[in-house]
Structure 1
């Protein structure tokens, strides 16, 4: 293991890197409970200095990702007008591939869907059903490994494909805890896909 120091809110913590990749760093450190998800951390040793952000905190270690990682642009935007972004075909945002299942819930109706992509614009999901309402807020349940998250989404577009219909939905609201679970799930799925 490589020794590393972490500068966080004016205090230096000692740590040991147990895994280091281009998209993720796992660090065992003293007092990991001093850190919270999303906070900025400077990691340094004698050879380099890197700006990172906390993705997940456990009892003995931190999972860190680069500070400019696109996953921190994924968030709820209930008041934002994203219609122009959806219509402007010249705008391209990085997206992450997902392959997980969940549900859309509207009043007393529950529809099973497959979530296939996520970006800063929101989720892409597939379903063989034309009854999904446009510009409508849905409660959702999305499986992230052994856990579930429950964001609210607004369906913004539909694209009919050969065997299914792909919808795009903005994240209308999501709890901070669920957002951290989602970000960690995205990063772990990208690592498994490599």
Structure 2
């Protein structure tokens, strides 16, 4: 294991790196409870220095990702921002592939859907019929391994494919706890896919 120091809120913590990749670093450190998800940390040793953000805190370890990671751009945002993004077709955003199931809930009707991807623009999902209302806020439940998250989504577009209909929905609202679960799930899925 490689020694690493973490500069956080003006204090230096000693740590050891148990895994280091381009998009993920796992560090055992002296006092992980001093850190919180989303906080900035400078990870350094005599060879390297990197600006990181805390993705997850456990009893003995921290999961860190690069500070400029697209993961931290996935969040609820106003529709005005999305209108600007959709107009500029040259903008490209990182999309994280998903293959998980969940539900859209509208009043007393629950519809099973397959979520295929997520980006800063929102979630993509597929369903086999046209019963999904456009520009409507849905309560959702999305499976993230053993956990579930419950964002509210607004369906913005539909695209007919050969055997299914692909919908795009922006994130209307999501709790910080669910956002943290989603980010951790995305990192672990990308890691397992390699």
Q: TM-score, structure 1 length as denominator? A: 0.97
Give the match for residue 13 of structure 1. Answer: 13
Aligned-partner Cα distance in 1 for 2:52–2:176: 19
Conservation of the 8 A alpha-carbon contact between 1:78 and 1:173: no
Confirm or deny that 1:135 pairs with 2:153. Answer: no
Give the match for residue 39 of structure 1. Answer: 39
Q: CA deviation at 1:87?
A: 4.1
Give the match for residue 116 of structure 2. Answer: 116
Aligned-partner Cα distance in 2 for 1:123–1:49: 34
36-45 or 87-96: bigger deviation: 87-96
Q: CA deviation at 1:91?
A: 2.1
Aligned-partner Cα distance in 1 for 2:175–2:129: 28
Name the SS for the 1:53 alignment partner. strand
Aligned-partner Cα distance in 1 for 2:84–2:116: 23
Aligned-partner Cα distance in 1 for 2:73–2:80: 13
Give the match for residue 183 of structure 1. Answer: 183
Q: CA deviation at 1:81?
A: 3.8
Provide structure 1 residue ranges, at least 5 long, that are not aligned to the other structure. Answer: none
Q: TM-score, structure 2 length as denominator? A: 0.97
Aligned-partner Cα distance in 2 for 1:41–1:119: 24
CA RMSD of aligned residues (A): 1.0
Deviation string 1:44-73 (CA, Å, 9 cap, x unpaired) is: 001011100000000000000000000100
Aligned-partner Cα distance in 1 for 2:43–2:133: 46
Aligned-partner Cα distance in 1 for 2:87–2:112: 27
Q: How many matched pairs?
A: 194
172-181 or 74-83: bigger deviation: 74-83
Provide structure 2 residue ranges, at least 5 long, that are not aligned to the other structure. Answer: none
Q: How does 1:60-75 map to 2 (within 5 A)?
A: 60-75=60-75
Name the SS for the 2:188 alignment partner. helix
Name the SS for the 2:159 alignment partner. strand
